[in-house]
Amino acid sequence: MLESPCHLLYEGKAKKIYATSNPQHYIVDYKDAASAFNGLKKATIEGKGALNNRISNYLMQYLQTQGISTHFLQELSPTQTRVKKLTMFALEVIVRNLAAGSIAKRLGLQEGLPFETPVLEFCYKNDALGDPLINDDHALALKLASHAELQTLRALALQINDLLGAYFKSKGVILVDFKLEFGKDAQGQIVLGDEVSPDTCRFWDATTRQKLDKDRFREDLGGLCQAYETILQKVSH
């Protein structure tokens, strides 16, 4: 029996999450919405949702072939995907290979400066507080995760960085940085959720350093969907 959206559980800046007839499955519906700076800048960009859906699904499936458990189950339509229900950690796990975005501003670093080893950061997922940067002690104090869970999140994020960094290097793209979100499935296993797309990753063309991600919207560079199309072509071939 084909599962279909039953009722809306959550609507975020870029996605809607629906319950289904199966209590262990959700449907993610990607919107044509672009936002930046914690929602202060917004726009509707036709076709963006379908691009993010397909790119994320390709990358989730690739990671699954490499031994990473993800929430991906089945692409249902250009903008909808069936996923496992997860109990999400209220944490964003950020891995940075080059200085860009907030870390460049925060630490006065030149954009594009490579780090000798990846820099991993945690942010507390709380819209009212602006998703603040936190450390392990903060996460423990807030009971966002246990010490063992934090270690697992770190290990998984760095493993994913190694896998995706090599994957995109082979396609002529630099993986500058990215944000991941994890949750626990019905068996208590930590699983990659949310999405892996140009909305959540910084991608640069390895030759030209052209930005192929949401920075095109943040920085008013234009050509956002063309950049996302470039990434889709690379991950689908």
Q: Whole-angstrom Cα distance, residue 48 to residue 14?
A: 10
Lowest pLDDT segment from 11-25, 32-46, 110-124, 134-148: 32-46
Using CB atoms within 10 A of its CB, is residue 141 exposed (0-12), middle (13-18) or buried (19+)?
Answer: exposed
> Is it the case that residue 39 has pLDDT exceeding 80?
no
> Is it the case that residue 2 has pLDDT exceeding 90?
no
Query: What local confidence, expressed as pLDDT, does residue 136 receive?
Result: 98
Share of the chain above pLDDT 90, in %: 92
- Which of the 8 DSSP states describes residue 8? E
pLDDT band at 101 (very low <50, low <70, confident <90, very high): very high
Phi, psi of 35, rounded to the nearest 5 degrees: -145, 155
Q: Whole-angstrom Cα distance, residue 42 to residue 64?
A: 33
- Which of the 8 DSSP states describes residue 113? P
* Domains by residue range for the chain, with CATH: 8-84 (3.30.200.20), 87-235 (3.30.470.20)
CB 150 within 8 A of CB 157: no
Higher-confidence residue of 52 and 2: namely: 52
Query: What local confidence, expressed as pLDDT, does residue 6 receive?
Result: 72
pLDDT band at 36 (very low <50, low <70, confident <90, very high): confident
pLDDT band at 1 (very low <50, low <70, confident <90, very high): very low
Share of the chain above pLDDT 70, in %: 97
Q: pLDDT tens digits, residue range 183-218?
A: 999 999 999 999 999 999 999 999 999 999 999 999
